């Protein structure tokens, strides 16, 4: 007999996990494909958040207004089944479900997209890179961990700017709620570190054919991954998995 689950936490990566695209790349594909190409060429030389920030400055220098960026975000692919799945789960009385977002996108892209889907109140917290519009319409983006500050101490290969494992532990510490079940929805290689912190009673919903699956297959056993992993390709399958595993 499993013990009764009263409180559960769903942790979401954003790009390619909650949303059906990568917001950092998408806006340039829509508004300036040459900058998108430049980012692809430079991504191994320049830290990713810095690269997005400098590309946003170039976009602004060309006269692209804030409204165009916001419009591109609002039309970014986002599966209706994902919105339906999280709304249904949030409305359910037991288990009571809370949502946390851990993302390497930023604090403007994510809320802009969520608002468009009627999901602006979904997350308890959105842990991501800070961004803000300045009065001229430039989107100023910074790394979550400033390059001159003390960096995180992750040993399992998180990128310099964010260790999602440390962020998850810090959230749980801050929040002081005991969650009977934690569910992690992710796709990327930087979602591997946080899933190592989960217990055997926890669940990983891993998107097929992307970095996270590769790391689970290559390193999961050696790193003592305990959570149960279910795979999905389309958001409709996440909805199905929620109904099957998270409604009691
Ligand atoms: Mg992702
Ligand atoms: Zn880490």
Mean pLDDT lowest among 1-5, 217-221, 225-229: 1-5
Residue 2 pLDDT = 58
Q: Which of 13, 24, 191, 202 is catalytic?
A: 13
* Ligand 2 center to 160 CA (angstroms): 9
Q: Please answer whether residues 68 and 79 qualify as being in contact, where contact means their C-beta atoms are separated by less than 8 angstroms.
A: no
Residue 224 is among the residues annotated as catalytic for this protein = no
Mean pLDDT of the chain: 96
Residue 223 pLDDT = 96
* Ligand 2 center to 35 CA (angstroms): 29
pLDDT > 80? residue 10: yes
Q: Which ligand is nearest to the CA of 184?
A: 1
Q: Which ligand is nearest to the CA of 164?
A: 2
* Ligand 2 center to 201 CA (angstroms): 21
Confidence class for position 69, pLDDT limits 50, 70, 90: very high
* Ligand 1 center to 201 CA (angstroms): 23
Confidence class for position 1, pLDDT limits 50, 70, 90: very low
Confidence class for position 33, pLDDT limits 50, 70, 90: very high
Distances (CA, A) of 197 to 103, 105, 150, 201: 17, 22, 22, 12
Instruction: Report, in this order, helix, strand and coil percent for the chain, each rounded to 5.
Output: 45, 20, 40
* Ligand 1 center to 105 CA (angstroms): 9
Percent of the chain clearing pLDDT 90 (strictly above): 90
Residue 159 pLDDT = 82
Q: Please answer whether residues 235 and 81 qualify as being in contact, where contact means their C-beta atoms are separated by less than 8 angstroms.
A: yes
Residue 180 is among the residues annotated as catalytic for this protein = no
pLDDT in tens, 223-238: 999 999 999 999 999 9
- 15 assigned binding-site residue: yes
Q: Please answer whether residues 64 and 31 qualify as being in contact, where contact means their C-beta atoms are separated by less than 8 angstroms.
A: yes
Q: Please answer whether residues 163 and 189 qualify as being in contact, where contact means their C-beta atoms are separated by less than 8 angstroms.
A: no
* Ligand 2 center to 45 CA (angstroms): 21
Mean local confidence (pLDDT), 77-95 = 96
Q: Which ligand is nearest to the CA of 192?
A: 2
User: Does the 7-21+78-129+144-245 domain belong in CATH 3.40.50.1000?
Assistant: yes
pLDDT in tens, 152-211: 889 888 888 899 999 999 999 999 889 999 999 999 999 999 999 999 999 999 999 999
Q: Which ligand is nearest to the CA of 159?
A: 2
């Amino acid at each position: 007999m499993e013990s009764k689950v009263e409180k559960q936490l769903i942790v979401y990566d954003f790009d390619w996990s909650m949303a059906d695209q990568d917001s950092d790349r998408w806006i340039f594909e829509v508004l300036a494909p040459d900058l998108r190409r430049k980012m692809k060429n430079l991504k191994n030389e320049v830290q990713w958040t810095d690269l997005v920030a400098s590309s946003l400055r170039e976009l602004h220098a060309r006269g692209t207004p804030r409204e165009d960026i916001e419009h591109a975000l609002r039309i970014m692919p986002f599966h209706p089944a994902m919105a339906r799945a999280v709304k249904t789960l949030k409305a359910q009385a037991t288990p009571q479900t809370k949502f946390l977002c851990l993302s390497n996108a930023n604090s403007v892209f994510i809320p802009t997209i969520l608002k468009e889907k009627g999901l602006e109140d979904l997350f308890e917290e959105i842990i991501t890179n800070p961004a803000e519009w300045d009065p001229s319409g430039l989107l100023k983006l910074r790394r979550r961990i400033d390059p001159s500050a003390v960096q995180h101490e992750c040993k399992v290969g998180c990128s310099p700017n964010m260790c999602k494992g440390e962020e998850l532990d810090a959230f749980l510490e801050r929040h002081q709620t005991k969650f009977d079940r934690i569910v992690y929805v992710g796709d990327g290689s930087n979602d591997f570190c946080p899933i190592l912190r989960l217990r055997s009673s926890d669940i990983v919903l891993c998107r097929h054919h992307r970095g996270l699956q590769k790391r689970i297959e290559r390193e999961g056993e050696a790193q003592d991954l305990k959570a149960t992993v279910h795979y999905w390709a389309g958001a409709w399958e996440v909805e199905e998995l929620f109904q099957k595993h998270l409604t009691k």
